[in-house]
Amino acid sequence: MTDIFDKIATVIEQRKNQEPNSSYVAELYHKGTDEILKKVGEEAIETIIAAKSNNSEALIHETADLWFHTLV
């Protein structure tokens, strides 16, 4: 599992300084820390809602989104 996170972190690092219109990661970094933290908060709420719904597929999807935005 660590290898996956390392690969994602490498891609995030490569993309964060690109032009904002060329990469979602670059767009988030361009908007700043507050926007990144807002996305982490949104994904956390969506993860909680998915967990309450007892829908494991939705929970997996939302957890992946939360992890991704947390890595950003």
Confidence tier at 2 by pLDDT (50, 70, 90):
confident
Give this prediction's pTM: 0.86
Please tell me the distance from the alpha carbon of residue 41 to that of residue 36, in angstroms, as a whole number.
9
Mean of the pLDDT values across residues 22-35? 96
Give which of 6, 68, 5, 2 is closest to 39, Cα–Cα.
68
- The predicted model gives 28-57 an average pLDDT of 96
From residue 28, alpha-carbon distances to 3, 31, 37, 56, 72 in Å are 24, 5, 10, 28, 8
Q: How many CB atoms lie within 10 A of CB 37?
A: 12
Q: Is it the case that residue 51 has pLDDT exceeding 80? A: yes
